[in-house]
Amino acid sequence: MSQELTEDQVELKETCSKCLVEKNISVFKKNRKVCLTCSSIYHSNYYQENKDHIIQQNHDYYVNTIDERKKYHKNYYYERKDQIKIKNKLKRLNLS
Ligand SMILES: [Zn+2]
């Protein structure tokens, strides 16, 4: 199977605001003015430069929300405890 571009895709061109090269629209993310190449370079640079910060932020988020997550799961169980019990009871009754 060949992956030829449709006529529409060939027609549509966009100029990247970073490298200023006119490229096919298929290498742009929707509604973005930056081509995928520039965008991936930007993001990898951004990550490299802010790596420590990003890792710290993710860690903080994880630690800060851990209680909330626990609470949520606990509530989830308690709210459904009766339902689960009834379900299990019915199951047993059906089996015997
Ligand atoms: Zn570009």
* pLDDT tens digits, 24-43: 999 998 888 999 999 999 88
pTM of the complete model:
0.45
Same-domain pairing of 70 and 96: yes
Same-domain pairing of 20 and 36: yes
Q: What is the pLDDT of residues 57-86, one digit of tens each?
A: 999 999 999 998 888 888 888 888 888 888
Q: What is the pLDDT of residue 15?
A: 94
Range(s) of the domain holding residue 37: 10-42
CA–CA distances in Å: residue 55 to residues 7, 42, 44, 59, 80: 44, 18, 14, 6, 36
What is the distance between the alpha carbons of residues 25 and 12, in angstroms, rounded to a whole number?
A: 6
The rounded Å distance from CA 92 to ligand 1 centre is: 64
Give a yes or no: residue 89 inside a domain.
Answer: yes
Same-domain pairing of 89 and 54: yes
Q: What is the pLDDT of residue 45?
A: 92
The rounded Å distance from CA 8 to ligand 1 centre is: 21
Same-domain pairing of 35 and 56: no
The DSSP result for 2-70, as a single string, is --PPPHHHHH-EEE-TTT--EEEGGGB-TT-SSBHHHHHHHHHHHHHHHHHHHHHHHHHHHHHHHHHHH
Give a yes or no: residue 19 inside a domain.
Answer: yes
Q: What is the pLDDT of residues 47-56, one digit of tens each?
A: 899 999 999 9
The rounded Å distance from CA 22 to ligand 1 centre is: 8
The rounded Å distance from CA 34 to ligand 1 centre is: 5
Same-domain pairing of 26 and 59: no
